[in-house]
A and B are shown apart, each in its own frame.
Chain A
Amino acid sequence: MKLSLTRRYSFPASHRLFRSDWSDAENHRVFGKCANPHGHGHNYVLEVTVTGPVDPATGMIANLADLDSFVRARVLDDFDHVNLNEQIPEFRGAIPTTENLCRVIYNRLSGFSHARIERVRIEETAKNSFEYVAETAPSRETAEYEFQEEHS
């Protein structure tokens, strides 16, 4: 059997979907209300799934205290109550869609040393959710390279 453990976190943040190299009309045609100039926000829900062997001494794939403090330090401290376009370096020149947010957060978490980060799932609203699954455990460099390339 295969086991995984998933923890849910949340953080409110704002964003705006637009490209500076497009006209206002083009931005509104493609991104609609999401391109409104002053941005808008969501209560993002972040699910982090870890896999790996269960330590027989603890009964755990990963100690939740370790996972929680890692997610707090790598993600929540930076992403909570911020503007994603302005305050998250990975979104300089990239559009903070929730697809891209999944990848950015996966890249920040992939170095977790206690278990493998298998999946990052984000609910932007109760109706929209997105996920990034590390099917074959891509290296951090590869994932970042692909991300840069898509938005260069």
Chain B
Amino acid sequence: MIKLTRKLEFSAAHFYHSPKFSAEENRRVFGKCNSPHGHGHNYVLEVTVAGEPDPQTGMILDLNELKEILDREVTARFDHRHLNHDVPELAGKVPTCEELVAALWRILEPAIAPKIQHGRLDHLRLYESPDLFADCSRNGQ
């Protein structure tokens, strides 16, 4: 099996707030991230697909097709957006790095699946900053 990774960047705003907590609890649990004015990050997403290269093209997945999917599903929907307000997949959730990478998986997995004949989405790594990232892979990997 061969793996292919494409990297992209998007910038977005968020803040952390849970309706299950009081205002004081929200401040205690989320600290500075609770500020309702929000703040932002330059997120870096690494998308890894795994599979067998097509014997005709030598490719697991045409990089142009992957780029089109990422432009449509990630850049158009997440870049220069507010994660609390602009992304329906995160409605009712606290937009942490963990929740965001899980939402991206749920969007990208079905978008990529029909484009790969002998392979699939294997792994996502989402950097919120150079010092913090979340990984998402299939169960059992």
Contacts and interface: CB of A to CB of B under 8 A. Distances in A.
Contact of B93 (A1, A5, A8, A59): A59
Contact of A5 (B134, B137, B141): B134
Interface string A38-72: 00000000000100001011111101110000000
Interface residues of A, number: 20
A108 B20 CA distance: 34
A123 B12 CA distance: 29
A40 to B, nearest CB: 26
* Interface bin, chain B: 20 to 34
B102 A7 contact: no
B132 A1 contact: no
A4 interface: yes
11 contacts: A1-B102, A1-B105, A1-B139, A3-B98, A3-B101, A5-B132, A6-B135, A58-B18, A59-B16, A60-B98, A65-B31
Interface of A: 1-9, 49, 54, 56-61, 63-65
